[in-house]
Each structure stands twice: as structure tokens, then as C-alpha cells.
Amino acid sequence: MSYDFQVNPAAPPDSLEARQTPIDNGLEIPDPSRYFSEEFMRKEWTHLWPRAWLLAGVTADVREPGDYFTFDVGHESIIVAKQDDGSIKAFYNVCPHRANRIALNDFGSVSEFTCAFHGWKFRCNGQLKSITDEQTFSPKLVAHRPGMSEVRCEAHAGLVFVNLDGKAPPLSEWIGLPKGYLENYRIDEMNPVRHVRTLWNANWKVGVDSFYETYHLPHIHPQTQTVMGDYSQYDLYPNGFSRMIVPLCQKSHRIADQDTVDAGLRFMMQDAGMDPDSYKGDARGVRAAVQQSKRERARRLGLTHYENFTDGQLTDSWATGLFPNVQIGCHPEGVFIMRFLPHPDDPKKFYYDNITMFRYVDDPDYFVPAWMGLPKGTDITGATRPPIERFGEGERADLGEVLDQDVELVAAVGAGSRSRGFRGPLWSEQESRIRHFHRELDRYIKGEK
């Protein structure tokens, strides 16, 4: 038993592309009740969600003082607001008067927050500004000038995190990824161009598990085989973090014809600003040709940060897992942020939250890659922040064929996990990220973290 596939065996050992030293997470098979039981869900609400750093949103949504967004997790709602001094603060979205939610929108920009119930006003830094008819309150009751309750908040690489119990280590210690890993993508220069939230019929961990491996792709998503290698490189990092490198712009070895450049590869060449008709090589040469073309395009357009990327990073997906509930598909042109948000009180449902971030480059040879699956007419300039498109159970979100397949798969796995006949997941080495994630989760549930 061994699995040590590397996308680039020549990667220097200290490079971000190198395969990490394996971590032995044992062979213990977890009890399947973690995928459906209310008791396990309650343990998570006690031991996991308040303790961990949670991805609340992106800095692109709070660029100017007074900009804010809200982030809901469980029964909590958090306001994240940009301050006059450029810092970012977070507050519980609850009025100290009688608990009304203060911000009722997903995003906004304000000079002060006003509670809609009785009109109390708060500064963007959370301080109480005014109490309506204050003379009718006993001074003793409001002498402490009740403001919004602050929540610990830190930003990293264009991402904003909150920690509800305030006891997590500093964010920099908690992020298990090497320095530069996320920073290289300059997510802070990207803008959300699409944001979709759909309700899926399974526990949030069934969602995480499904997106943490490409083992299922030939079976559930056979169409990906024309543009994707057979195997991914799986790497484990401290604190439950992990990544997989999915090699793209090449055909799976399962496909007999390794020569013909067909539609999928042609699309990928177009995305890189190439004219597929003028490409003279065969399918095996496409990956290198796309890398070279992107490199040249970046130099021509002055996109200097491409110098930080390996050739492989220009074509491949670096799907990066942020414990506990986020995976970011990292590409130089843009990133896909997937959040698996637990349903507040039903362990058999979760919200799949998908933010597509794109760095706009005003040049006719710089396209939105087709793999982003943006609907026609999407504004990619970042001039307007698209609203969150919400879809309920059974409503199709138009996220593309692959994700539609995943919606069905995840529901079937969620249902199957509740069967008396299921004894717990048997994870292969291609599923090492899943085991790594659950081992870290167990440390929280047991109160070790």
C-alpha cells in the first residue's frame, strides 16, 4: 500500500509544489453517526464552531471604511466592518437593547449602524452612539454605554476570519499552510463575480469529504477525463489543513486516444489566450503549451505575481482545504471559495456556499476561464458586488454539470450514511485528506484543542 503520486517529481523539496512529508493518521474507522446524529452536531456547536477560526468572507467586500458584510453560522450572525483606520472588526449582529438583528443585509456601506426596532445608533467601531429617548432609561441601566459585542477577527491573504470564543491561537499560527501559499494568489486584488448558496441534503462533512478527493471523478464526472490527469497529489499540513494538486490540460490515461486535441483541451487553450487552430502538437503537449502561453501573456500584461507561480500552478488546480469547512480552488486568474456551512439545527443538511473570485485584467486576450462556469452576461469587472443567489432544496443553481452531479451524489451518500448496514468509511490513500480532516475534528470534539 503506497500512494505517492507527485505532479512534478522534480519540484525542489522546499518548494510549495513539493510533496509534503506524509502524516500517519492511522486506520481508525469513525462511527458513521457523525454524519447524521444530533448529538454529534451539538458537540460540534460546543467544541468546534466557536473554537475554530471561521472564514467569514473576503476583504474585497470591505474595501472602504463603513463597508460591511454579514456572516451567519448556526444561530449566530456576525457583522464584519471596515474601520476608519483600515483595520477590520467584527461584532455579533445583535442589538444590546432587545436583541434585534442590527444589519439585515448581506452587504452594505454605512456611516453608522441604526437598529431598525427603536433606532439606537452604533458607530462602525461598535461603540454606542445614541439611545432614542435616553431620558426615559434609568441612567444606571445604560451607564456602561452598551455597544455591539466585538468578535475576534483577523484577515489573511484577502480572507477574513472570525473566532467566536476568542480563544483560538493567533490566525498566523492556526493556518497550517506555508508562508506565501495563499498570499501568492493576491486574492485581495480579486473581486467576487458570482456568489451562490444552495441547500444540500447531507451533513456538511459529507460535502467536505466529497470535494477533498478526485478519486470519484472518473465515476461521477466522466466528462472531466478529457482534461484531467488520472491522479492528484495529496498533501497534508498541520492543523487539519491539506491540499490536492489536480493536474489539468491533459487527458486521463483511461482515455485510449492520447493524441487528438479535442474540445476540452481546445477550451483550455482558448482560456490561456491561445488560438487552438494554430497549435501543431498533440494532446500530450497541451499542458506545457498552455503554461508557456500564460507565462508569456502575464509578462506582456505586466502581471508580475505570475513569477511566484510554478509552471504547474498555471494550469493545475491547487484545491486547498482550510480546516474545518472551506476549500479554495486556487488558480492564478481567480479562485473558487467553497464553504460548507452547517445547517443551524438539522445535521442532515448544509449550505454549499460558492464564491467565485476573479482578477479583472482589461485586455482582449485575457478571458474568464471557461472552467469558472460563469453564466453569460456576468459582470467580471468587479464594478458591482453581485448579490448572493440563494437556492432552496431541489432548486437548480446553474452551477454547471459537474456540481449538479455532486448535489445528487452528496444526497445519496448522506442517506446511505444513516443505514444500519454502513459501518463507517474506509478511506484509501487517495482519501488521506478526508482522514486528516476527521482526525483534527476529533481533537476538537474531545476537547483536546
Residues binding ligand FES (CB under 6 A): 95, 97-98, 100, 115, 117-120
User: What is the closest distance, in whole angstroms, from the C-beta atom of residue 405 to Fe ion in the complex?
Assistant: 6
Find the shortest distance in angstroms from Cβ 361 to ligand FES.
45
Binding partner of residue 120 among Fe ion, ligand FES, none, CB cut-off 5 to 8 Å per kind: ligand FES
- Choose the one of Fe ion, ligand FES, none that binds residue 117, judging by a C-beta under 5 to 8 angstroms depending on kind: ligand FES
Shortest Å distance, C-beta 164 to ligand FES: 21
Q: Which does 95 bind (CB under 5 to 8 A by kind): Fe ion, ligand FES, none?
A: ligand FES
Residues contacting 168, CB < 8 A, separation 6+:
51, 52, 53, 152, 174
What minimum distance in Å lies between the beta carbon of 217 and Fe ion? 7
Q: Which one, 29 or 99, has the nearer CB to ligand FES? A: 99
Please say which residue, 97 or 156, places its beta carbon nearer to ligand FES: 97
Look at residues 388, 392, 350 and name the one whose alpha carbon lies nearest to residue 105: 388
For residue 77, give Cα distances in angstroms to 80, 204, 351: 10, 18, 15
Residue with cell 443505514: 419
Nearer to ligand FES, 146 or 425 (CB): 146
Please tell me the distance from the alpha carbon of residue 19 to that of residue 446, in angstroms, as a whole number: 30
118 contacts which partner out of ligand FES, Fe ion, none, CB within 5 to 8 A by kind? ligand FES
C-beta of 165 vs 404, nearer to Fe ion: 404
Q: How many beta carbons lie within 10 A of that of residue 143, not counting itself?
A: 9
Q: Which does 406 bind (CB under 5 to 8 A by kind): Fe ion, ligand FES, none?
A: Fe ion
Selection from ligand FES, Fe ion, none that 378 binds (CB < 5 to 8 A by kind) is none
Residue nearest to Fe ion (CB): 406
CB of 95 to ligand FES, least distance (A): 3
The position carrying cell 444552495 is 198
Residues near 217 by Cβ (< 8 Å), separated by ≥ 6?
Answer: 224, 225, 228
CB of 90 to ligand FES, least distance (A): 19
Footprint of Fe ion (CB under 5 A): 406
Please, which residue, 98 or 253, has the CB nearer to ligand FES? 98
Alpha-carbon gap, residue 201 to 423, rounded angstroms: 21
By beta-carbon proximity to ligand FES, the closer residue of 99 and 263 is 99
Q: Which is nearer to Fe ion, 235 or 406 (CB)?
A: 406
Shortest approach of ligand FES to residue 145 CB, angstroms?
Answer: 14
Residue (98 or 423) nearer to ligand FES, CB: 98
Least spacing, CB of residue 104 vs ligand FES, in Å = 12
> Would you say 55 and 159 are in contact if contact means Cβ atoms under 8 Å apart?
yes
